[in-house]
Amino acid sequence: MVVMATNHDRWQEAYEASPLRDTRFETMSGIPLDPVYGPDDGEFPGQYPYTRGPYASMYRSKLWTMRMFAGFGTAEDTNWRFKEIIKSGGDGLSTAFDMPTLLGLDSDDPMSLGEVGRCGVAVDTLADMADLYRDIDLGEITTSMTINSPAAVIFAMFVAQAEQAGIPRARLGGTLQNDILKEYQAQKEFVFPPRESMRLVRDTIAFTAAEMPRWHSISISGYHIREAGSTAAEELAFTLANGFAYVELAKEAGLAVDSFAPRLSFFFNAHIDFFEEIAKYRAARRIWARWLKERYGAESERSMQLRFHTQTAGVSLTAQQPEVNIVRTAIEALAGVLGGTQSLHTNSMDEALALPTEKAARIALRTQQVIAQETNVAHVADPLGGSHFVEALTDEMERQAEELFAELDRMGDGSMLEGAIRGIEENWFQGKIADSAFELERKLNSGDRVTIGVNGYTDGNDDDQIELLKITNEDEQRQRKRLETIRQDRDSDAVAAALERVRTEAADPEVNLMPALIDAVKTYATLGEIMHAMETEFGRHVEVPTI
């Protein structure tokens, strides 16, 4: 007689194969804790469809990466902050770029005036990138870069500076956000038209699949969709729909799904509606696994295991009574952990007012460390799994997302890639997000929804404000002067030749642009110069407003 292994037996085998730090976990009172709870025939973490988590042992064998987002002023300023984060216990870096860099502009561009280094770090050339990560071992610590329209150029600088520091491409681990679709849908930091921008995404996927096995070429971001005003269900649906579009893009380029899908990662918001957020993450894993297996033919478990970074909700923070933001952030971070995130950034209490101070950033990191080290929540996988409430919310999130997928599928005549692009061109995404944002604002104005310090419990709003980080005009002038010096010292003929190669290869959609971009940044061609060379072939996107 053949005895069939139960779901629990299959999970137990995978769990015991995992590298565990300890053999016994217990509550503060000494009550032993099992790694997961549920019936033998139920779902388990590390098993398809991964609703309960992508790994059998979850945080018992490895905590989530505490990846703090940082960037301000010059590259030297941010390098100092990175080192402070590492010294305080952060084990992953996430780079915030200033608005000119996000839009592919140089610091001395007239459009950059007053914005250099204000909302992130200014990066104009390879020299800035070298300063940004100076004396940080990029072969050991993973790095995320939150940039989209100029992502391929910034990534070329990152690869080139690492090689200058003696770190080969294959050792580099981290993530390039590189999610251009959500820029048109929500964040609006686009440069080229959608179809031309998707060519750059395709090139980075192919390049990393061939040469950088530890690198995630896209972090498909729902964060900015939610910050723009979407509901949780819309964030879930639009994010995964964009993910499906990138899968189809890579498959059209001739890549086998299992050659690139394991290096796709996601980036979700952790908002203030605690249980809804947990349900959103659980539904996301289930949907991704099913679509990758059934629609796209994935066979590798890694392709079907959705892994994601979480950032607490910036839009939930208030300028009034900013210390209360510590409470909001802690609740949101706990939702991310209970939902099974693989890495986490916690916002600082002062971010509704300015870039975070060192003290505020340290408190934000300590919030994660308290959750990890003091609460015991990391010792049991999916501890809310089986809750009637959470399971019902998970199912409803999935149902609403599938309705939106069906609309996009029809819009694209059976192609999620075409549906995503047409949805942008026809302002479908933008309209839905705007409607949801309006509805939330209506509830706040009517008092149907209360935000502490904004439309309720306002005593204390007039207290003295906290100390803020200030970026000065002198910081901007330092960056502009540095750029001027680099322009004077570089080989102008080599720059011109490199830019001409970028322009020529941009005109041929069959050529992968990454090698030309890497060679261009090595001549110290600037971000703005390289973007302009591509713009001559790609054109520039102008959004048509919807009424």
Q: Please spell the DSSP secondary structure of 82-110, one letter per residue.
A: HHHHHHTT--EEEEEBPHHHHTT--TTSG
Q: What is the pLDDT of residues 346-383, one digit of tens each?
A: 999 999 999 899 999 999 999 999 999 999 999 999 99
Comparing C-alpha atoms, which of 419, 415, 412 is closest to residue 295?
415
Task: Retrieve residue 193's tokens.
Answer: 């038209």
Alpha helix positions (H), 120-271: 126-132, 151-164, 181-182, 194-211, 223-227, 232-252, 257-260
- Cα 285 to Cα 262: distance, rounded to the nearest angstrom: 13
What element of type H or E holds 312?
strand 308-312
Task: Retrieve residue 506's tokens.
Answer: 């941009």
Instruction: Count, in order, helices (H) and strands (E) of the chain.
Output: 21, 9
Comparing C-alpha atoms, which of 77, 501, 423, 81 is closest to residue 225?
423
The structural domains of the chain, with segments of one domain joined by +, span: 58-446
Looking at residue 1, its pLDDT comes to 43
pLDDT surpasses 90 at 109: yes
Query: Which region holds residue 141: left if phi is over 0, alpha if psi is between -120 and 50, else beta?
Result: beta
- Cα 379 to Cα 102: distance, rounded to the nearest angstrom: 39
Contact 420, 412 (CB under 8 A): yes
The fraction of the chain above a pLDDT of 90, given in percent, is 89
CATH dotted code for 58-446: 3.20.20.240
Q: What is the pLDDT of residues 133-145, one digit of tens each?
A: 999 999 999 999 9
Q: What is the pLDDT of residues 223-236, one digit of tens each?
A: 999 999 999 999 99
DSSP character at residue 6? P
Backbone angles phi, psi at 261, to 5 degrees: -60, -35
Looking at residue 464, its pLDDT comes to 75
Contact 378, 59 (CB under 8 A): yes
pTM, two decimals, is 0.94
- Cα 68 to Cα 362: distance, rounded to the nearest angstrom: 10
Backbone angles phi, psi at 154, to 5 degrees: -60, -40
